[in-house]
Amino acid sequence: MTAAQGDVVQIGNRKSAIRNNNMPLVKVPKPKFMTKLRRFFMADLLQGLRLTLKYNIGAIIDKDSVAGKGIYTEQYPKVRPDVAPRFHGAPRLNMDPETHDTLCIACNLCAIACPEDCIDVLAMDVEITVAGKPRRKKVLDEFIFDTSRCMFCALCQEACPTSCLELTQDFELATYSRAGFVWNREMLEQGRETVKYTR
Amino acid sequence: MHQVEIATTQETLLDSPEMVLNMGPQHPSTHGVLRVILKLDGETVIDLDCDIGYLHRGMEKIAENRMYTMIAPYWDRLDYIAAVSNGLVWVETVEQMMNLPVPRRAHYLRTILTELNRIASHLLWLATHALDIGAVTVLLWALREREEILKIFERQFGARLTCHAWRVGGMPNDAYDGFTEDVQQFVNNFPTRLDEYETVLSENRIWLSRTVGIGVISADEAVAIGLSGPALRGSGVAWDIRKSRPYAAYAEMDFDIPLGENGDTYDRYLVRLEEMRQSRRIVNQALENLPDGPVNAKLPKIVKPPVGDYYHSIEGPKGEIGCYLVSDGTAQPWRVRVRPPSLINLQALKQLCLGHLVADVVAIIGTLDIVLGEIDR
């Protein structure tokens, strides 16, 4: 197989020009006597078959010597997975649990932190009176979150100063249309209705 | 563009003319969207050309228009099998350029989690490589162990695959409650599992005949092409950035670098298996000596490295993954250049495949352990 550039070598039953085929030949280690004996009695195959048989039995009785269980497959639609608390899933705008006002102060920090520009914070000014004096205050009007472009990197969650924007454990984000990926304030606050399929 | 000359000289009716065969981009064993144009004589490969770029997303250009802290999630999407290692290159480059002192605990946690990621990446390589060659059982077993690692990632980072694991200056969160127990349990169970893979594969006569002597590359040629990672060490070249230019907490760890002798597919398989054992050793040591303290350095409000350029690289699961960063002193980089190990390892494909059969091309693509997200960027 050590042919130089442009050499003509015999491959099969015809001559063919092979370019740049200067592969070093590998020395296959000569099998020792014990290896030969093991091969003759097919020990290399039988030890593998013994292991797979052990696994087959383990799957039937759901037992394994190492991990303690033999079946690893998650039965997803029937058994919902237990997602970790830090999971970056569907976004949510948290509300004050007592007053049910939004915690968002319309500071726009999440929109600035987002690498993909998928957050739009629309604020409006309202007149309030603080200690008898009229003041203007910026409050949240509408919050647009485009989940189709979201990378779920959680930079917005880290930027939020009031723990309002949060990525939750909800992971089922599929919709029937592209417009369904754009979440408005109502969806972010109330959560989206997910269809739970049961038999 | 990819014109291959075909000599159609048929001397007898039984002779087959030289044939051009397209492999990919939708072929399952090209590990992504790689198109390989094979020139065949019967079943023997006599010429080969790669067509890449199907997964190009312009990540380097995107990075020029983002703040330094925003670029990290894009790095996860290069080599999505080893997102944790990839993220580490970026944050370490920025940190070293700014001379940020990263807390010791963060370094240790980075070491543990990147080594776990190396194991996960090698497990997926073993699974798909064995599947390509025909051993389906190992796929199920290796993915089972990888699942344990991905669960640790989900609990720690909040995502399984593209974790966005690190922030400039440290980590987003400290280790979760029960982190040590989870990692310890995985580390305790893992050697038995590795022995099981070896029982099924290492002595198996089918595995040996498909891997021994296939895709041989000598040490000199491997260095000349610029191979790195297990593909280089399989040829017997001792080059590992964890030893030669230690980053994170690797300087304080005690581990060996496995080397192959022949530089064939079987040696690269043995090197990777041994690397998983060494990774387990590193995780064990780092877990024992895990220091207490904060995991974040004090950061300025806006991350702005000084004017200049910097190159930093780490030993990813597939080889040397590096980042060349040019800063003009603003909040956005002037240029980000990725040194992808997969792209440079892929260049050896032609040399490895010539003279082998079409079925061996599948084995050789598997042994190079390429990820197309990194090649095309």
CA distance A120 to A122: 6
**Identity of the amino acid at B149:** I
In this predicted structure, the answer to whether residue A135 has a pLDDT above a threshold of 70 is: yes
pLDDT for residue A13: 41
Q: CA dist B328 to A113, A172, B2, B56, B266, Å?
A: 21, 42, 39, 26, 47
In this predicted structure, the answer to whether residue A29 has a pLDDT above a threshold of 60 is: no
* Disruptive mutation site among A7, A10, A11, A14 for chain B (greatest number of B CBs within 10 Å): A14
**Position A59 confidence tier, pLDDT thresholds 50, 70, 90:** confident
pLDDT for residue B119: 93
Q: CA dist B211 to A26, A31, B266, Å?
A: 11, 16, 5
Nearest CA in chain B to A29: B212
Average pLDDT over residues A56-71: 74
B71 touches A at CB < 8 Å: yes
**Domains of chain B (ranges, CATH numbers):** 59-376 (1.10.645.10)
We find that the CATH architecture of domain A91-190 is: 2-Layer Sandwich (3.30)
Residues 135-164 of B with CB under 8 A from A: 137, 144, 147, 151, 154-159, 162, 164
In this predicted structure, the answer to whether residue A5 has a pLDDT above a threshold of 60 is: no
What lies within 8 Å, CB to CB, of A185 at 6+ separation is A93, A140, A142, A143, A144
B263 touches A at CB < 8 Å: yes
Of residues B42, B200, B355, nearest to A21 (C-beta): B355
pLDDT for residue A19: 37
Q: Is the ipTM of this complex over 0.90?
A: no
| Chain B partners within 8 Å of A45 (Cβ) | 204-205
Segment B237-246 long-range contacts (CB within 8 Å, at least 24 positions apart): B240/B315, B241/B313, B241/B314, B241/B315, B241/B320, B242/B314, B242/B315, B245/B313
pLDDT for residue B22: 87
Q: How many CB atoms lie within 10 A of CB B227?
A: 28
Structure tokens belonging to residue B295: 């995991």
pLDDT for residue B24: 76
B192 touches A at CB < 8 Å: yes
B348 touches A at CB < 8 Å: no
pLDDT for residue B163: 87
pLDDT for residue B300: 79
CA distance B358 to B40: 8
A16 touches B at CB < 8 Å: yes
Written as one string, the DSSP assignment of A33-73 is HHHHHHHHTTHHHHHHHHHHHHHHHHHHHT--TTTS-S---
pLDDT in tens, A75-106: 887 788 888 888 988 898 888 888 888 888 88
Min distance A38 CA to chain B CA atoms (Å): 10
In this predicted structure, the answer to whether residue A44 has a pLDDT above a threshold of 70 is: yes
A171 touches B at CB < 8 Å: no
pLDDT in tens, A147-170: 888 989 888 988 899 888 888 888
**Which residue stretches of chain B have pLDDT < 70?**
1-16
Beta carbons of B14 and A13 less than 8 Å apart = yes
Beta carbons of B41 and A88 less than 8 Å apart = no
**Position A21 confidence tier, pLDDT thresholds 50, 70, 90:** very low
> Residue B177, SS3?
coil
Residue B366 phi, psi dihedral angles, 5° rounding? -65, -40
| Chain B partners within 8 Å of A25 (Cβ) | 213, 216
Min distance B46 CA to chain A CA atoms (Å): 6
Residues B35/B25, Cβ–Cβ less than 8 Å: yes
A44 touches B at CB < 8 Å: yes
- How remote is the C-alpha of B3 from its chain's centroid? 31
| Chain B partners within 8 Å of A65 (Cβ) | 192
| Chain B partners within 8 Å of A1 (Cβ) | 355
pLDDT for residue B236: 82
* Disruptive mutation site among A41, A44, A47 for chain B (greatest number of B CBs within 10 Å): A44
| Chain A partners within 8 Å of B216 (Cβ) | 23-26
pLDDT in tens, B142-185: 998 898 899 999 999 988 888 888 888 888 888 888 899 989 98
pLDDT for residue B112: 92
| Chain B partners within 8 Å of A23 (Cβ) | 216-217, 351, 354-355
Q: Are strands A14-17 and A21-22 parallel, antiparallel or unpaired?
A: unpaired
pLDDT for residue B326: 92
Structure tokens belonging to residue B208: 């040996």
**Identity of the amino acid at B1:** M
* Disruptive mutation site among A71, A73, A112, A155 for chain B (greatest number of B CBs within 10 Å): A155
| Chain B partners within 8 Å of A73 (Cβ) | none
pLDDT for residue B89: 92
**Position A139 confidence tier, pLDDT thresholds 50, 70, 90:** confident
Domain boundaries, chain A: 91-190
pLDDT for residue B153: 92
pLDDT for residue B13: 58
